[in-house]
Amino acid sequence: GTDDGAPLGQALAESQALTSVFLADAGLSGPVVRSTLIAVATNPRLAMLDVSGNYATAENYRKIARSVTQRAKSLAPIPPPPLFLGLRNTRVRDSGLRHLLDAGLSLPETLRLDGTHLDGTSLGALARCATRPDTKVGQASFLRHLTLACNNISVDGVRAITALLVDPLCRLETLDLSCAHLGDAALAVLADSLAGMHTLRSLRLDGNKFSHAAMNRFAESMGDNRSLTQLSLSTQEDLPQNVFYTTYNILLRNRAVRDGFHFAS
């Protein structure tokens, strides 16, 4: 991981049968990650790309975005995005994510951004990309699984995500906001949006700091939602176990719980 990654990048670019690249936690430097992503991101056969846990910075992702976009424009037809993109435990930050989105890169079906030092200021751009038609590949973006866990997501960041969830073009099915430093204000934003969520099946909110009252208000609002089948809701606050029984009873009372609905506290 000390060179510029050119040999690895060249080998990957020349592969004719490559469908998956797993380089997670490989100790790769920023230039190596950059060279690797540029080499494989426009491979039409690529289905899975995971470079999680390496050392690329936001500036590296700016260069990646620019190079991949330029390379994609030279190809005909333009290749679709990979089904899976793993960037967890990297230093993408909001600025790096914005670089990728502003360059016009297509979103994958599964995007892992857990532990990427996000505060949520880039999530508005992410939401816009997830609902606009992708003219490059002739289809709408198909982001279906999004992990934002272990970040420090602001209330405005949660508002951006809920705006996506209630958009008629949204296809998101699973959302992980566990351990994202959310509080009562963020939970209230989610509660107010539950009625408009039409595709979301699984929502993880465990490991945040919610009060008993906020959790119960959220449970009351679940009565207006008809898409969720899995909900994980807990708090880092020191609350007795009977609090969670109260929340669960509210869920049962205020929602037509279908077979298969799962609530974890």
How far the first Cα of the chain sits from its last, in Å, is 42
How many residues are listed for the chain in this entry? Answer: 265
> Mean pLDDT over all residues of the chain?
83
C-alpha separations of 248 from 15, 190, 213, 263 in Å: 52, 17, 13, 7
pLDDT per position as a tens digit, 170-188: 999 999 999 999 999 999 9
The lowest-confidence range among 80-89, 135-144, 198-207, 231-240 is 135-144
pLDDT digits (tens, 9 = 90+) for 208-225: 999 989 988 998 898 888
Amino acid 137: pLDDT: 46
Give me the pLDDT at residue 138, please: 45
* CA-closest candidate to residue 92, choices 147, 10, 164: 147
Question: pTM (2 decimals)?
Answer: 0.87
Q: Are 167 and 129 in contact (CB under 8 A)?
A: no
**Residue 158 corresponds to which tokens in the numbers above?**
């949660």
Is the link from the previous residue into 77 a cis peptide, with omega within 30 of 0? yes
What the block records as the tokens of 141 is 């973006």
Closest CA to 86 of 59, 64, 62, 113: 113
Residue 107 scores a pLDDT above 70: yes
Report the range of poorest mean pLDDT among 106-110, 112-116, 178-182, 251-255: 251-255
- 126 vs 237, residue with greater confidence: 126
